[in-house]
Chain A
Amino acid sequence: MSQQIPGLPDMTYIDREKRTFLDQIYFWEITRGILITTKHFFRNMAKWLTFRKGGVVILYPEEMRPDYSQNNRGRHILVQRSDGSPRCVACKMCATNCPAECITIVAEESDDSNIQKRPKVFEIDVSRCIFCGFCVEACPVDAIRMAPTTEELAGYNRFRMIYDKKTLMTWKPTVNDDVVHGYNP
């Protein structure tokens, strides 16, 4: 028989010693599973027919959800100064803080002696990123943010998943055109 684990409300497991005949022939258990699936199918169908939320799945990445929370941690944005250069000063705080170690930065001397330091290479390997937002929290100059959407985050190979400085700066989320907006605790 299935058994309740004390202290954990909804979790059950099968105790092999105590399986009944009904459990062992599997027929009833399989039918029960199909019934649950069917129940969801009809419930979703009903929702969809009555134009309610949560009816069908989204065909990501072709379709995007229109209802991301504004605080969702989606794709990274490198914030720009008014002249289009990155605001980032290549301090590597984000790379140091990143638990997935997926940020690579190489610094160089900036042409502007008031800025001094800027990133020559800034790469995020989003296939390793866990979307924790620690990089955003670590940045001392608010140069990296995460847009609420996950647009164009899918790719056919893993090299496509390494975003360089240009990609991080040119991409503008369409859900919310204001690039300055995004996850920013």
Chain B
Amino acid sequence: MEEVKITVDGKELTVAKGTLLIDACEANGIYIPRFCYHKHLTKSGNCRMCLVKIEKTPKPQPSCMTPVADGMIVHTRTPEIDAMRKAMLEFVLINHPLDCPICDKAGECMLQDQYMEFSGDKSRFNETKVAKEKLYHFSDRILYDAERCITCSRCVRFTSEVSKTNKLGLVLRGDSSYVSLAPGDTFDDPYSDCVTDICPVGALTSKQFRFKERVWNLHKTPSICAGCSRGCNISIETKDNQVYRVRPIENEHVNKSWMCNFGRDYYVHPTAERLTSQRSKKNDLDYNTFIKEVTPIFKENGAKMAFIVSSHATNEELALAKQLADVIGVKDIFTKSDREWKEDSGEVKEDDILITADKTPNLAGVKKTFTKAKDISTLTVSPFTHAFVWGVNASVKDLTKLKLIVLSTERDVVSDKADYLIAGQTPAEKHGSFTNIDGLVQPFRRAIRGEQNTSDLQFFVDVLKTLGETPLGRTVDEVRAAL
């Protein structure tokens, strides 16, 4: 790629031709304030917060609209530019309400941050502020506060370029301008919650998270969304072991800066009835007894066992499960999809943005680990006496007639009939990695602790150890290193 040399604040930078000045600066550690610029949207250049001085141009230039040119000499912190930034902030704040105490954006608000960093001036505005609609219900997920809006048009560009629903538009001019839906319309968009992330201020907020917690109290764990096989990079935001919200993390190769609404709800409103302990058919067992009783069943019936693998499992667990299957001589391994799209759920089946038809995170990983595995639809129970069922949604005729060992997270028909049942972990509760639909392996960390005190990985480790084998590894990191 062709490269050009530019000078920013006396620093000589070499950047690819065609890069925007704001990107070039940011990549080299010089932050230029901005409101309307967003990396994954077209640039509109309307907020004028990113003005910089470029030598040999008569006036300051918006760096988000200016591609670099060879020999460009740029100044980002001259007194003139600083004064301009202050003036821009004062202009934005003229009609901005004093809502920070009740604004869900406070703490991650670009207007707050940039005011603290670049202005700090007292208000000189003695006139009455323009009053606008403060509770505009865009949909049952999104609330719009027109007074807080700084009309940067990010949300409008999002609906026209990314989600392509074209639901939002800016109407009127000047200080009366606000974002609006078409009359009578609602903001039904499977990606609508993304506008609450990209809105630089608290004008668009999520109803689901409304007033739940101040953002600085949330603990953010980077993770991978388990809602479908796209594997969007997400940040699970928790406090006291409870998930408050889920937001996307930028990943150029997978989800850019976006994720779908379903993925957000997937963690915040878990619906299923969770299992929490282990039991045999008759009574509750403690963990060690359970392992001691289950291991001989694995050992003696390996050849007559249907081994059904979960697509919610991590690659590390799969590696240990494969080791176990090899050791006990399992002949037939079946893959299943733990969650399938349902017609009446209102969930989008598939689109060409992010959502994929495979609604589980790691089917690709299962297929890669168990290359000879068959699909569960080909499973008939007659050749088997036993079955190891991992995960939910094992819908096979007469499966419950076999002797069942079940490792699952929630109650269903199969786990109710299990001869041995142990509670599993949901993706938010474990460390590991998923392989997404494009074959990209993405690691993630645990965000919350489940009620059960066992881990899926530990289950396989302990069974292998009781069989007298050396497991590939005892922890996620050891298994990963062994792979």
Contacts and interface: CB of A to CB of B under 8 A. Distances in A.
B211 A117 contact: yes
B277 to A, nearest CB: 31
Nearest to A143: B101
Nearest to A117: B102
A175 interface: no
B135 A92 contact: no
Most chain A beta carbons < 10 A, residue from B211, B216, B217: B211
Interface of B is mostly: loop
Given A109-B210, A109-B211, A116 B102 contact: yes
Contacts of B100: 91, 140
B84 to A, nearest CB: 29
Contact of B101 (A89, A108, A109, A113): A89
A89 B211 CA distance: 10
Contacts of A96: 214, 216-217
B106 to A, nearest CB: 8
The size bracket of the interface on A is 10 to 19
B334 to A, nearest CB: 47
Contacts of A109: 210-211
B214 A92 contact: yes
A108 B213 CA distance: 10
Main secondary structure of the interface of A (DSSP, over half): loop
Interface string B222-251: 000000000000000000000000000000
A93 interface: yes
A93 B414 CA distance: 50
A91 B216 contact: no
B102 A89 contact: yes
A65 B483 CA distance: 74
Interface string B385-429: 000000000000000000000000000000000000000000000
Contacts of B101: 89, 91, 93, 117, 140-141
A141 B99 CA distance: 11
A109 B137 CA distance: 15
Contacts of B216: 96
A113 B135 CA distance: 8
A116 B101 CA distance: 11
A108 B214 CA distance: 12
A91 B102 contact: yes
Given A91-B101, A93-B101, 5 more contacts: A107-B211, A109-B210, A117-B101, A117-B102, A140-B100
Interface of A: 89-93, 96, 107-109, 113, 116-117, 140-141
20 contacts: A89-B101, A89-B102, A90-B102, A90-B211, A91-B101, A91-B106, A91-B214, A93-B101, A96-B216, A107-B212, A108-B211, A109-B211, A113-B135, A116-B102, A116-B134, A116-B135, A117-B102, A117-B211, A140-B100, A141-B101
| For the complex of A and B, 5 pairs with smallest distance between CB atoms | A91-B101, A117-B102, A107-B211, A92-B214, A140-B101
